[in-house]
Amino acid sequence: MKQSADWYLDDVRPLAAHEFEEIRQLAHRTFGLDLKAGKEELVSSRLRRLVRSGNFGSFREYCRHVLEDRTGESLASMIDALATNHTAFLREPDHFQFLREQVLPALALRDGAEVWSAACSTGEEVWTLACVMNEALPSRRIQISASDISGKALQIAGQGAYSVERCKDLPSAWLSRYFVPEGRPPKSYQVNAELRRQASFRRINLIERFSWPRPFAAIFCRNVMIYFDQQTQEQVVRKLSDCLEPGGYLFVGHAESLSRVNHGLEYVRPAIYQKPGKRGSKWTKSS
């Protein structure tokens, strides 16, 4: 088995096949991650720091510690290490165009609009949604509920501060209106206080039980399904659908498809699905 190039720099034994299988089963059981054969080097490189810092002599010792840690902190650290947090502002921009042109106008009579970013990673999707919604519904109450399984990613998302490089694709009007530059010339930008008040962050494991006080008009859960097997995908889509109001939309990643997944949603266009039914009158503006 090919190992990470720095394995010989410490006393941790290389990841063995049975250790990879133990970690694979743990990851699948606890947060749905489907680590297929060929991911051994990725697992070794991402977990080696945790194995080394905990003074474990092997990945098996580390895995046993994760299982025995009743606080859940070791499992959370493992999830943070294995979870992929790749994201960007305005990623898959046609989704935001559809939201602006097809979804938000239907919410204009409401007192407010609320959407859920169900795998928000480090927050770029959350703040893109905030900008789009404020532009489309300037006089409405905007609320974005955001969640992720990674506590580390949620910390970054909540702070809303990003390097100039991360912000390079943002429209200049958004940068001046919704972001505060830090440094002269700017070394980074932070989402302004008004927008940050419109978002709330919560740690959610999508394969565990969770609930919201009310359904959402739209849910973004993009580029997550690709890490789940079919059974887990069906479980997660069912839960997401339960959190949508009738007529609400589910956005998934363009690299994902629900064609092999049993669900009751209607296909709208690639990576966009709608829950059947009409929106209830309770969502319209009070008379």
| 3-class secondary structure, 80 | helix
The yes-or-no answer on residue 10 being catalytic is no
Q: What type of residue is 156?
A: I
At 68, list the tokens: 């025995």
Q: Which residues pair with 219 in a beta bridge?
A: 116, 250
Query: Residues 48, 110, 140, 148: which is the catalytic one?
Result: 148
DSSP 231-284: HHHHHHHHHHHHTEEEEEEEE--TT---TTS---PEEEETTEEE-SSPPPGGGS
The yes-or-no answer on residue 80 being catalytic is no
| 3-class secondary structure, 169 | coil
At 1, list the tokens: 């088995």
| 3-class secondary structure, 118 | coil
Query: Residues 13, 46, 60, 177: which is the catalytic one?
Result: 46
- Residues labelled as active-site residues: 46, 148
